Amino acid sequence: MDKKYYLAIDIGASSGRHIVGWKESGEIKTKEIYRFENHVDNQGGHLVWDTKRLFNEIKKGLKVAFSQYESIESLAIDTWGVDYVLIKDGKSVLPCYAYRDSRTESAIEEINSKISFETFYMRTGIQFQPFNSVYQLYADKKSGRLDGVSTFLMMPEYFGYLLTGNMVKEYTNATTTGLVNCKTKEFDTDLIQILGLPLQMFPSLNMPGTVVGKLKDDVAKEVGGQTTVKLCPSHDTASAFYAVDNPEDSVLISSGTWAILGAKIKEANVSRDALRCNFANEGGVGNFRFLKNITGMWINVCLKNVFGRSFGDMTCLASESTFDGTFDVNDKEFSLPENTDKKIKNWFESRNLDAPKTEGDLYRSAYKSMAMGYKKAVGDLEKCENRTFDKIYIVGGGANNKLVNEFTREFTNKEVVAMPIEATAIGNLKSQMEL
């Protein structure tokens, strides 16, 4: 029987990759065939994504896929959450703002004056993040960007639209907007009307496994082949959680630029503890992902950019250091990428604490602080769920960092299972094969 080949296009905040997958002896096998860099651009003082360049990279990877494989059964795209492209008269309204841009600050205050976050949380189950799509959309409304706009497409939906000509909205990523009702699993029209956002922008949602369509003729001609585009759990964390069949008594951490820490639950948890601890109930495949976004490899990526070291060299230098100080990796001081080494030193010095002196000290402190962030979040998770978790599964790129894994084991006193797999891509592929 001929093998069927599927393509996962997995785009993160710092890189993207095309991964071909197939089943062999009941297991999903993968091969990365194309990789490209991603980064935010500074445009007129705002942080934006270069969507044109990203789409060109998607097509370049498709060319590689069709040059190596005679037939691709289907493809699906996943990306980070919350960011989107506005559509007017079938065309994109640019720029596409990045979630780290500061334009939402005044929107948060105005929304809070209209409706309490507690009410928001009870209806949507989504944690407060200043970059949630709801605040971005409200900022767009205030600036007039929504005038004449027919809809908005989350990043995977937008690229799916460019590939097929069809606009199809997907459930798991839609939950990161902060506007999906956690009971109905559709957009909450009451909230949308209170905020004065155009209702036509919020159509019905579709579940992973839905067919988006075939490649447009011009795209198929350009990339050298034809295939079907499907919806996977298009929020990358949803795909990562779907990839791992972890037991219910375990914590799952998807460790990338962000570390997404949580557990799979059947019904949304919108308790007062969950609200206080700022946990989200994001949509999953047949479940909710009860989780918290905390800083993952972001600070390490920033330090890498400062010193130009490889991650391997950074870990070696951290191992040689004896510095024990930790800092709050979730402090908003570290949200922007510039001068991260100076910011870390300043964090300690401003509190009259011994600051890192060497490169190795900086790396070790960043790794230990990341693990300390895990410890606090696990404690919050156990309190909210009123149960104890025995194991921590770590997937994604961050699972390769043995030092962080050791610190996590030490700080949490739990068994740590590192699975340095492309969990997001595997979940993406698994959904194409099985849903």
Encode pLDDT of 213-244 as tens digits. 999 999 999 999 999 999 999 999 999 999 99
Encode pLDDT of 119-136 as tens digits. 999 999 999 989 999 999
Angstrom distances, CA of residue 249 to CA of 105, 232, 237: 38, 26, 19
Whether residue 54 contacts residue 79, with contact meaning beta carbons closer than 8 Å, is answered with no
Q: Which amino acid is at 180?
A: V
User: 344: buried, middle or exposed (CB in 10 Å: 19+, 13-18, 0-12)?
Assistant: buried
pLDDT at residue 179 in the model:
98
pTM recorded for the entire structure:
0.89
β-pair partners for 415? 391
Q: Say yes or no to pLDDT of 205 above 80.
A: yes
How is residue 40 written in tokens? 């935010």
State mean pLDDT over 289-297. 92
User: 221: buried, middle or exposed (CB in 10 Å: 19+, 13-18, 0-12)?
Assistant: exposed
3-state secondary structure the chain: CCCCCEEEEEECCCEEEEEEEEEECCEEEEEEEEEEECCCEEECCEEEECHHHHHHHHHHHHHHHHHHCCCCCEEEEEECCCCEEEEECCEEECCEECCCCCCCHHHHHHHHHHCCHHHHHHHHCCCCCCCCHHHHHHHHHHHCCCCCCCEEEEHHHHHHHHHHCCCCCEHHHHHHHCCECCCCCCECHHHHHHCCCCHHHCCCCECCCCEEEECCHHHHHHHCCCCEEECCCCEHHHHHHHHCCCCCCEEEEEECCEEEEEEEECCCCCCHHHHHCCCEEEECCCCEEEEEEEECCHHHHHHHHHHCCCHHHHHHHHHHCCCCCCCCCCCHHHCCCCCHHHHHHHHHHCCCCCCCCCHHHHHHHHHHHHHHHHHHHHHHHHHHHCCCCCEEEEECHHHHCHHHHHHHHHHHCCEEEEECCCHHHHHHHHHHHHC
Q: Say yes or no to pLDDT of 1 above 70.
A: no
Q: Which domains does the chain have, with CATH numbers?
A: 6-234 (3.30.420.40), 245-422 (3.30.420.40)
**Quick one: how far is CA 305 from the chain centroid?**
21
Q: Say yes or no to pLDDT of 34 above 70.
A: yes
Angstrom distances, CA of residue 29 to CA of 72, 77, 208, 240: 15, 18, 21, 16
User: 214: buried, middle or exposed (CB in 10 Å: 19+, 13-18, 0-12)?
Assistant: middle
Q: Say yes or no to pLDDT of 366 above 80.
A: yes
Q: Supply φ then ψ for residue 189, to 5 degrees.
A: -65, -30
pLDDT at residue 92 in the model:
98
User: 268: buried, middle or exposed (CB in 10 Å: 19+, 13-18, 0-12)?
Assistant: buried
Q: Is the bond into 95 cis (omega within 30 degrees of 0)?
A: yes
pLDDT at residue 76 in the model:
99
Calculate helix-pair angle for 133-143, 105-114, nearest 10 degrees. Answer: 100
Q: Which of 83, 236, 361, 380 is catalytic?
A: 236
Q: Say yes or no to pLDDT of 248 above 90.
A: no
Whether residue 427 contacts residue 278, with contact meaning beta carbons closer than 8 Å, is answered with no
Confidence of residue 247 (pLDDT cuts 50, 70, 90): confident
How is residue 432 written in tokens? 């194409």
89 catalytic residue (yes or no):
no
Identify the CA nearest to 154 among candidates 138, 129, 128, 172.
172
Q: Say yes or no to pLDDT of 293 above 90.
A: no
β-pair partners for 156? none
* Phi and psi based region of residue 206 (left: phi greater than 0; alpha: psi -120 to 50; beta: remaining): beta
pLDDT at residue 278 in the model:
92
Q: What percent of the chain has pLDDT over 90?
A: 92
Instruction: Share the mean pLDDT of the chain.
Output: 96
